[in-house]
Structure 1
Amino acid sequence: MGQISWREVTVAWARTSELEKFTHADVAAMGQTQLDRFRELSGDRARGFLAGRALIRALVQSTRGPGEVLVDSRCHRCGGEHGRPRTADVSLSVSHAGDLVVVAAAAGIVRLGVDVEAQTAAGRVSELGSLFREDAAPDLAGWTRVEAAVKADGRGFEIDPSAVIMHDGPRDVHPRVWSAALPGGVTRIEVATLSGPPGHVLSIALG
């Protein structure tokens, strides 16, 4: 497991095998809908769900103190239990890369997004290149910044990724911070690529 902080955001990650003691009984304590969602999954997806909920519980309890952690993950479009996780008084975002799970948490209600990609997934950039103008296609780190930004916005990939404009901030600031302008967005979202899990690229968006 690993953990870093950026501004008011705490980011934690783990391999699914590191959180095997977190079981369906723990998920049930987070709400019946979470247990129902878990029962719909199998194999790697079920293990990833368990690991993600384990990290969520740990981060929420660290942020607001011990006690039960109830989670709502209803999709705002269809009402299904596959939307982004939400809980009282703490903002959350989750990303998966293989058997690695990353969770970002911040106190209060903020725009928050996290994205992680394995460095070996660089070929994915070529696949995504068709979404962008040839002279504007991002590298792998750039792609994680775009994905983190649309997650923080809340509309996800209802937004055309090529319509997300990244304004680079001062280069002498570490980590470098980009300001993401999204179509129809009221305010810009700040994005940074951080030193996270070894062998991976991780970006956080905060608005």
Structure 2
Amino acid sequence: MGQITWREVTVAWARPSEQHEFTAADVAAMGQGQLDRFRELSGDRARGFLAGRALVRTLVQSIRGSGEVLIDSRCDRCGGEHGRPRTAEVSLSVSHAGDLVVVAATAGVVSLGVDVEAEVAAGRVSELGSLFPERGAPDLAGWTRVEAAVKADGRGFEIDPSAVVLHDGPRDVHPRVWSAVLPGRATPIDVVTVSGPPGHVLSVALG
């Protein structure tokens, strides 16, 4: 497991293949909906879910103290338990990339998003060119910043990625902060690309 902090956000990551302590019983303690979701998964997806929920529990307990961590991940559109995880007093965001899961957490109810991509997936960005017909697809880091901002906004697929505009911040500030402007949103979202797990590009958005 690795961990970094940016502003008031804690970002942690782990490899599902190395996680063996968090079990279905631990998932059940986070709510029946979480157990139902876990039972729908198998193989790598099930291991990724367990590792992600293990990180969620660790970060939430660190932020608000020990005790039970109940999660609601119902989708706003269909009601299924595959939406972003929510819990009292803490904002969360989760991202997966192969054998890696990343969780961002911060106290309070804020707009928070995290996105991670393996560096070996850089060529995949060119496949996204059709999503950016006017200005071309961003590089891998730029794509993670767009994705993190969209996650933080909360509307997900309702937002056209090409409509997200990233304004470059001061170059002498580290980590460099971009200001993401999203259609239909009154205020911008701050986004950074931070030093995370080796071999991966990781961006965090906070609004």
Give CA-to-partner distance per residue, 1:120-159, whole Å, 9 cap, x none.
Answer: 0011101111111353420000000000000000011210
User: How far apart, in 2, do the equivalents of 1:74 and 1:186 lie?
Assistant: 26
Q: Which amino acid aligns with 1:30?
A: M
Structure 2 letter corresponding to 1:164: V
The CA distance in 2 between the partners of 1:203 and 1:187, in whole Å, is 19
Scaled by the length of structure 2, the TM-score of the pair is 0.98
Residue 148 of structure 1: aligned partner? 148
Letter of the 1:19 partner, please give it: Q
RMSD: 0.8
> What CA distance in whole angstroms lies between the structure 1 residues aligned with 2:25 and 2:137?
44
Q: Distance in 2 between the 1:15 and 1:76 partners?
A: 29
Report which stretch shifted further, 125-134 or 60-69. 125-134
Query: Equivalent residues in 2 for 1:37-52 (5 A)?
Result: 37-52=37-52
Deviations, residues 162-198 of structure 1 (Å, cap 9, x unaligned): 0000000001101000000000002100000000000
Among all aligned residue pairs of Structure 1 and Structure 2, give the percentage whose two residues are the same amino acid.
Answer: 85
| 1:124 corresponds to 2:120 | no
Deviations 1:57-86 (A, max 9, x none): 000000110000000000001111000000
Distance 1:120 1:130 in 2: 21
SS of residue matched to 1:12: strand
DSSP-derived class of the 1:122 partner: helix
Name structure 1 gaps, 5 residues minimum: none
Q: Tell me the equivalent position of 2:177.
A: 177
Aligned position for 1:15: 15
1:198 aligns with 2:198: yes
CA distance in 2, matches of 1:104, 1:98: 18
Name the residue aligned to 2:66.
66
Is 1:34 the counterpart of 2:34? The answer is yes
The residue aligned with 1:56 is 56
